[in-house]
Amino acid sequence: MKRTGISLLAAALILLLITGCWDRQEMNELGIVLAMAIDKGKNNMLEVSCQIVVPSEVASNSGKSTTTPVTLYQASAPTILEAINKMTLTSPRNSYMSHIRVLIFSEAVARMGIADELETFLRHPEIRPDYYVMIARHSRASDILNVLTPLETIPANNLFLSLQNSAKTWAPTITTVTDDLLEKMISDGVEPVLTGVQIVGDKQNGGNKDNLTTIKPVANLTYTGMAVLKKDRLLGWMNEQESKGYNYITNNIKSTTGNLPCPDHKGKLSIKVLRSQTDVTSKIVDGNPVIHIKVNNMSSIMGDACTVPISSQDDLRIIEKEGSEKIEMFMKESVKTVQKRFKSDIFGFGLNISRNNPKQWAQLRDHWDEEFPRLKVEYEVHVQLRGVGMLDDSILQDIKE
């Protein structure tokens, strides 16, 4: 009896110890940050903007709403974390950063370097490294967070999902998370790229609820081009074709759609890329490094506006050859631009040499910046057409006759 009493007492005392009240975080006291934008402020300060979700607005059964689903808090301070805590001057809730989806830097900040900001994000125990990093083009970073989006009511989710899907189905985009980004900044022989995001339409009124009352929003967000960085500094932008070439070289193509001319060069074929695999190898020829890029591409014809039949083997071979040349052209353009304009090894050719020819890399490493612009690159592309969709020869032949 006495023993039971002591045990019960001990159990009750332990209950007091394991409440964990020091770190309690009540849901209704947290401002959940979904997106963050970093701009250059006055006096060398950083202007940090947080897109915070308004819980009552995203609850499913709240009826017709009167306010926006998210709100924006801003603060300026020398460091990011200071600015975030400073936001409590205006925000009634503490910022909670575990669910951050996108991090946007303005071009001005990116040109000065973003490593120290990213370091904060990686060191902070509350933040998981699974959000996308991007750079705002043609506007301040905070303006990007000031646009309401249809379909996905929370703009940060809209940005995240849109990038995720387009990286899967559209060649020129890429997703970048912080640890990959920092790894590329740190590693020798490879430099990072980031995707750009911009507002199309009316920048001023995108944050107005009226933006969602028209079928075509007055302002919308779109991804555009790829930013080339050197270490942590922005150098410039690649256009869509060059970005496509970059993704082919770095084996980032999951699937995409393109077009090819018909065998007789009248009209166009739409081609859907089903699979694409790139193998980059490096070798040393006469003491100089040579990069060999081999692309194996499997595609399918999805639209045929040709007046000549495609059902013969020979015609298919011709189209396949056209396709190979086009992919090679993308990659060549991309390499040429980067070697000439940026001189930053975003393709990771140096990393490839260091992994496969470590001895030669030891000699190249210190003057890789001079070596990279004159690096020789060889291409080998095999396009294979698998399917032709649901029709045989184009029905256009019969319409046009």
Partner 1 sequence: MILIIPAIIAGYAQQDGWIAALFGIPIGLLILWLILHLSSFYPKLNLVQINDRILGKWLGALLSCAYLLFFLLAGSTFIREVGDFLTTQLFQSTPIRYIHLLFVLILMWGVWNGIESIARSAEILLPLFIFICIALIVCLIPQMDLERLKPYFGSEGLSFAHATMMFSVYPFGELCSFLMIFPYASKPAHRNKDVLISALCASLLLFLLVFISLTVLGAYFTEHNIYSTYVLTQKINIGAFLQRIEALIATAWVISTFFKTVLYFYAFSIGTAQLLRLSTFKPLIVPTSFLMFGLAMMVAPNLCIMSKRLFPTGSTGISPMALYFRHCSFPSII
Interface with partner 1 by CB under 8 A: which residues? 14, 17-18, 20, 22-23, 125-126, 128-130, 179, 182-183, 186-187, 354-356, 358
Q: Which is nearer to partner 1, 182 or 193 (CB)?
A: 182
Question: The tokens of 228 are what?
Answer: 């080339």
Can you tell me the distance from the alpha carbon of 144 to that of 135, in angstroms, rounded to the nearest whole number? 10
SS3 316: helix
Nearer to partner 1, 56 or 98 (CB): 98
For residue 9, what is the enclosing H or E element? helix 2-17
Minimum CB distance to partner 1, residue 21 (Å): 9
Enter the DSSP assignment of 307.
S
Residue closer to partner 1, measured from CB, 88 or 241? 88
Contact 177, 133 (CB under 8 A): yes
- The residue among 13 and 285 lying less far from partner 1, judged by its C-beta, is 13
Shortest distance in whole angstroms from residue 300 CB to partner 1: 25
Cβ proximity to partner 1, 309 vs 358, nearer residue = 358
Nearer to partner 1, 129 or 261 (CB): 129
Close Cβ partners of 274 (under 8 Å, ≥ 6 residues apart):
255, 298, 299, 300, 386, 387
Cα 144 from chain centroid (whole Å):
15
Least Cβ distance, residue 211 to partner 1 (angstroms): 28
CB of 35 closer than 8 Å to CB of 159: yes
Q: Shortest Cβ distance from residue 88 to partner 1 (Å)?
A: 16
CA–CA separation, 301 vs 286, rounded Å? Answer: 43
Interatomic CA distance for residues 345 and 369, integer angstroms: 8
- The amino acid present at 340, given as its one-letter code, is K
Of 86, 117, 88, nearest to 104 (Cα)? 117
Closest CA to 299 of 325, 260, 327, 271: 271
**Least distance from partner 1 to the Cβ atom of residue 299, Å:** 25
Q: How far is the CB of 18 from partner 1 (least distance, A)?
A: 7
Least Cβ distance, residue 98 to partner 1 (angstroms): 8
Query: Which residues, 6+ apart, have CB-to-CB distance to 1 below 8 Å?
Result: none
Q: Three-state SS for 368?
A: helix
Amino acid in the structure at residue 74? Q
Q: Looking at beta carbons only, is 139 or 356 nearer to partner 1? A: 356
Q: Which of 293, 278, 263, 275 is nearest to 386 (CA)?
A: 275
Closer CB to partner 1, residue 116 or residue 370?
116
Strand partners, 256: 273
Q: Which one, 179 or 369, has the nearer CB to partner 1?
A: 179
Residue 89 CB, nearest approach to partner 1 (Å): 21
Residue 261: strand pairing partners: 268
Provide the minimum distance between the beta carbon of 264 and partner 1 in the complex, in angstroms, as a whole number: 43
Q: How far is the CB of 15 from partner 1 (least distance, A)?
A: 12
362 versus 396: smaller Cβ distance to partner 1:
362
Q: Give the other-Cβ count within 10 Å of 261's Cβ.
A: 15
| Helix segments in 187-288, DSSP class H | 240-249
